[in-house]
Amino acid sequence: MRRIFFWTHFAMGLAAGVFILLMSVTGVLMTYERQMVAAAQNAAVEAPAGAEPLSVDALAEAALAAGGAAGNTLTIQRNPANVATLSKGRRDTLLLDPYTGEALEGAGEGMEAFFGRVMRIHRWLAFTGGRNEVGAAVNGAANLVFGALLISGVVLWWPRKWKWPLVKMQLFFRRGLPNAKARHYNWHHVLAAWSFVPLFLIIVSGAVFSYSWANKLVYAAFGETPGGQGGGQAVAAVTVPEMSGELLPLDPLVAQATGNFKNWRRVTITLPQPEAATLDLSIDWGNGTQASKKRSVTVARDGSGLIGAPVGDTSSPAQKARRWMRFVHTGEVYGFLGQTLAGLASIAGIVLVYTGISLAIRRLIRMKRSVKG
């Protein structure tokens, strides 16, 4: 039985190795994509000598002047010298200079274009143009093969006897090995052992993106269907108060909303109608992808205080699981540490392909020589 697993593992590795390598390399490149894009965007800001960043009210006025409207959102950062973002829709955003309120055309565009191309190669083997259906099918299949390689690798890795000296050889790098074959064998086993869990999560979540049947399985596990209502947490109705005074500027309202969130990183304001009695905000103290680190808050615009309690994630269990799948793939669901682990797992994937192909070629050469002999 072990022999069958070995030759299956051998054949799958040779067939899909190049595509797994490419996905691993692009995965490494995208490890800190979010931070690098944000840094490139903020680098486009040129602070005038002696100038102070605009107030929230001034930024809101600039957003309206730039084509924003009530119901659109304005995201401001904890650091007021960083760009603000006007979002008119899912794919319609505009970056605003925090000192002038003007649109920052092309800010971070080169970095976004680079990562956009890397992403299209990663997902669809699209070295030019947009989605490549053939490439998407190939990468999706290669991802499944990678999963099969991991599982069959566990069988081959499993020590015949669970004695520490034997297990130790499978878990730690060894020095003084006589040749490249021995080193590659050692690296292959050690990295497979330590990277198994993050690689398995990356592969499973990748399958959910690639195949509708895998996506449906996530929802079915919670008794839901994609696109259905699911049965999320009910949100208590908010009673709009009577206005007891004049409308306050946005700045003190933002300060009031963030009063209990001292570690907030960004606030997203839903631009209100001119005479609206309330202001809706989303407060984020995570990296922008962690739903557990976001709260929705409503404040009275006359300054009388918060209306109701802050509201967390109201998605259904299946929707939460699907979002977790989305961001466990990049590690972002666990913040910077998670991103780093995902990046290290991708590096391990590169070395696993390299050492696996190296060992396979050596075996093929030996087989050819034995046939000739």
Given this model, what pLDDT does residue 166 score?
84
Residue 297 and residue 356 share a domain? no
Q: Nearest to residue 84, comparing CAs of 213, 266, 230? A: 266
C-beta of residue 280 within 8 angstroms of C-beta of residue 257: no
Residue 301 and residue 222 share a domain? no
Q: Nearest to residue 301, comparing CAs of 285, 282, 281? A: 281
Cα angle vertex 205, ends 200, 151, to 5°? 25
Given this model, what pLDDT does residue 355 score?
97
Any residues with CB less than 8 A from the CB of 238 and at least 6 apart, and which? 278, 298, 307, 308
For residue 300, the cross-strand partners are 278
C-beta of residue 297 within 8 angstroms of C-beta of residue 308: no
Instruction: Report yes or no on 45 lying in a domain.
Output: no
C-beta of residue 291 within 8 angstroms of C-beta of residue 320: yes
Given this model, what pLDDT does residue 163 score?
87
Decide if pLDDT at 239 tops 70. no
Decide if pLDDT at 108 tops 70. yes
Residue 257 and residue 124 share a domain? no
Instruction: Report yes or no on 245 lying in a domain.
Output: no
Reported as a pLDDT band with limits 50, 70 and 90, residue 147 is very high
Q: What is the mean pLDDT of residues 68-73?
A: 96
**Domain that includes residue 279, residue range:** 250-314
Q: With the CA atoms of 366, 370, 371 and 373 taken in that order, what torsion angle do they form, in degrees rounded to the nearest 10?
A: 140
Looking at the structure of the chain, the number of domains it has is 3
Lowest mean pLDDT among 18-32, 238-252, 352-366: 238-252
- Look at residues 287, 314, 341 and tell me which one is the last residue of a structural domain: 314
Instruction: Report yes or no on 267 lying in a domain.
Output: yes
Decide if pLDDT at 244 tops 80. no
pLDDT tens digits, residue range 27-45?
999 999 999 999 999 999 9
Quick one: what percent of the chain has pLDDT higher than 90?
86
Residue 143 and residue 195 share a domain? yes
Q: What is the mean pLDDT of residues 193-201?
A: 97
Given this model, what pLDDT does residue 372 score?
72
Instruction: Report yes or no on 241 lying in a domain.
Output: no
pLDDT tens digits, residue range 116-126?
999 999 999 99
Reported as a pLDDT band with limits 50, 70 and 90, residue 265 is very high
Residue 254 and residue 153 share a domain? no
Instruction: Report yes or no on 319 lying in a domain.
Output: no
Residue 355 and residue 214 share a domain? yes
DSSP letter, residue 104: -
**Burial (CB count within 10 angstroms: exposed 0-12, middle 13-18, buried 19+), residue 123:** buried
Q: Nearest to residue 81, comparing CAs of 99, 56, 103, 55? A: 99
Q: 59 or 166, which is more confident? A: 59
Residue 20 and residue 143 share a domain? yes
- H/E stretch holding 95 reads strand 92-96
Residue 138 and residue 15 share a domain? yes
Decide if pLDDT at 325 tops 90. yes
Residue 264 and residue 123 share a domain? no
Instruction: Report yes or no on 135 lying in a domain.
Output: yes
Q: What is the mean pLDDT of residues 347-370?
A: 94
Average pLDDT, the chain: 93
Instruction: Report yes or no on 52 lying in a domain.
Output: no
Residue 194 and residue 116 share a domain? yes
Q: What is the mean pLDDT of residues 152-180?
A: 89
- Look at residues 79, 104, 129 and tell me which one is the last residue of a structural domain: 104
Residue 201 and residue 338 share a domain? yes
Instruction: Report yes or no on 285 lying in a domain.
Output: yes
Reported as a pLDDT band with limits 50, 70 and 90, residue 89 is confident
Q: 166 or 115, which is more confident? A: 115
Residue 120 and residue 87 share a domain? no
Lowest mean pLDDT among 105-119, 209-223, 244-258: 244-258
Decide if pLDDT at 238 tops 90. no
Q: What is the mean pLDDT of residues 71-89?
A: 96
C-beta of residue 150 within 8 angstroms of C-beta of residue 192: yes
As given in the structure block, the two tokens for residue 247 are 């409308």
Question: Interhelix angle for 180-210 vs 212-220, to 10°?
Answer: 70
